[in-house]
Structures are given as C-alpha cells and as structure tokens.
Chains A and B, each alone.
Chain A
C-alpha cells in the first residue's frame, strides 16, 4: 500500500480512529494487525520472511540477556547470521551468482548454479537492520529483552516505518510501544503538517521530476550532455523529495498516534561538506552504520590510514545495502573517496577560511555547497542508471554539454519541474536560514491556516497523482 494512494488515506483514517477508540492494552494488537495488512498489500507471502526474523530475534533477545560470556556472543552471531542470511538469499543471491558466472566465463567454465526467480521483498533491508539493532543493543546491555511477543513484532513491523524507515533503535521506540498515548491536539496537528509537507515533496516535486528522469535514464544513448546534466540534477532532487517525503509522511502518521520517530533528513542539500551532507541525509541509516560498523571497526580512534579504510568499508557496504549491483558499489565507493578527500582537505580549508571576512566567507560557503551538490549529483548517476554501461555512457555524453537539451513534452512538463524545484528550495531556504519566518507554525492563526490550506492546494494543482511508488521501497 503506497502512502500516495487513496487506499492509504482510508487505511490511515480508520487505523488512527480505531487506535484512540481501542483501550490501551489492545492497541498493540490493532497496530500489529494493521501493519500486517499494510505489508501484505504488496506481496502477502513475504510476511512469512518477516515472521521468521521476528521469531528468531525475539528468542535470541531473551536468551542473549540470560546468557553469559561466549554463549552470549554465540547467540548474537546466530541472530545476525539469520538476519543477514535472509538478506543474502533474497537480495544478494542472484548478484553473487551473476558474478560467479562472469568469473567462470573468464576461466572458460560453466556456472550451473540456478538463479532464483522472485521479487525482492519490499523494505527488506530496512526492517532487517531494525531487527539487527535490537539484538545488538540487547547484547550490549543497552536494551532489555522484550518479553511481549506482540510488542516485539510491532517494533519490527510498525506500519509507518516498515518499508522505508526511519530505521529505529529499540531504546527509542520500544518504550513508546508500551506507553499509553493520550489523544493530543498538538500531536495531531503537527503530525498532519508533517504529512502534508511530505506529500508536497513526493507529489509536487519527486513525481513531477520523475517523468523527465524516467525518460532520460533508461535511454542514455538518445541524450546529449546538457540533458544528462539536467536529468542528473533532477534525479538528485527527486530522490531527496521521494525519500524524505516518505520519511515525513511516516513520522507525521506516527506522531498523530503519539509516537515520536527519529528525524531522517535535515535539509541535506544545503551542506557545505560531504561529511555534513551525510549527517543530514538518511540519518537513521548513517547512524546505524556509525554505531554498528564504523565504531566497532575502530572509527577515527585508529591510525589515519585505518580511519580512511574504515570510511571506505562503511560506504562500500552502504552502497551494497542499497542494492545488489555494481552501480551501488561504485556509488558507495565514490562517497568513500569524497569522505577521505574531505578529511585530507579539512585542515587546509579551515586555515583558508580563517583568513576570509564574513562576506567572502558566505560566498565561499555557497561555492562549497554548490561543489558538494555537484559531487553528490555525479554519484547519483551511478545510483540511478540501469547498468554501469549506461552510467558511463551518460558521463561520456557530457562531452556534448551545451547542445540544446531535451525539454520533455514542452512547457507543461519542464515548466512544472522548474516551478516545483523553485517552491521546494524557497521554503527550505527559509527553514534552514530564516527559521524565525514561520509559515506552518506562525503565531498568527490566519497566516498559519492560510499557509496550510495553500500547501494543500499547491499539491492539488501542481501535484502528480497516480505517480509511482517510492524509490527506497526497492531496498
């Protein structure tokens, strides 16, 4: 069930109403049943995969808590293998097989390992990572094992964040699932506002830009350098609005039921360094990798060369987390390179910046911000292209930059894209740099109401209805 569908509107209203009608002790059951229904609206049978990991991790959590010494570690490893095993089978099996075939052909051998013909379960990487964070936190002693099987199942399956995050930590969300949430006017209104903002990003910006992007990326042989640049920039904005729009709707929907999910995006395209970008982009995944991979590898408390290696490992795995293809690995590799180069240049930039007056410094930050956007956008080409060959072809086509670009079906399509981008960045500029100018939370009720009604009608007039699903569902 997609957030941007009428079916979801019905589902959401019914579930939220029932949530407040149900007595507290039965609410977990309502939410769990609703979450199962929500998930089964995609491919029903895949709920069994979720059930498998839920049972394993639930039992593992209890036994890890009870166990001591090596046994404790062994139970954690069993739980992690089960989770990663599910990912390996459903997400990476065919990719590994592809590479074996490629290597075998290079050695004039034949690979007889059969391929699996199945769809990737929606949001598999998200709920698997959330489940893994539970057993790791229990192992570390930061979280008590959850005894209530229904509540634990809900922790993994909570419908707003089930298929595309934010990837929650047990310390934040499990306690909230036990707590009684009274109806709160503030939560309802703030939740709705965040949902409306998410719908704006998804329907007005992401789905509009996707019409252009989806025309160019599958056929790179047909497009010149100017078109490649436009489509890459459009995709950079599309994926941001698609994913952060989803997060906003998820966080808003949860908020209306009294749940506070973690912030997942903080206006990342106004960042002036790559590390700042990553502290504002998909925060729940970045912090997951930081806490469960980067720091255990030694983080930055090791030699500088080892820190660089740790960064590379984290970003390569982050690439692979996104998808089983070399495109994503290259995307991760590029970000690894950006991070290392950023670390090397940091002292130089700091020294340089200390000599600038405030006016020039602002201009310098603008240039740096533009540079970060260009680097991130370049990496997105690999992320979005159907194959590595297509990505390199697009980069090769950049030689013809300056030729007349493809403008879609004329003023209507391209003009809408530009209007959508202008609206997004204007509002986000005020959010980032002029937070005192409040629209949706203005103390003047007329301004507040007018801006919310205005936002809804912008969605109705400029939005793309019947658009596609969210990009991150595939991960």
Chain B
C-alpha cells in the first residue's frame, strides 16, 4: 500500500495498549498486536460487507458495521 511510508504508527499502537493495560510492552508484542488488529479488521470488514449485501446496501454502511462489531469483538476476545 504505502511503500516508503512506515507501515503503521508503532508508537501509537504501543501507547494505546500501554494506556489500556497499564503495563509495559515487551519488545515486539506491539507488532503481534497490530497483526491481530489487522485480522480483526479483516474479519470485521468481511462480516460487515456480508451483512451489507444482505441488507441490500451498495456500500458498507455504519449500521452494518455496528451490527457486526459485537460479534467480531467477541471473536477476538482473549
């Protein structure tokens, strides 16, 4: 997607997780977390597009994403 650009804001992800867990992160966990996040996004968007199709929408609407969010989050719950 973005060749020269940095693939993702690593420090941001780190900060987010740090703030939520109140723990420090070991060296490369944030990458794993980000990968998991990508998986999550993939799953979310796939489900959302499916539900959007079912609802007969052209684009993915916010509503279809809302619908899917719960399940997706639950699926990615530890």
Chains A and B are bound partners: no
Interface residues of B (CB under 8 A from A): none
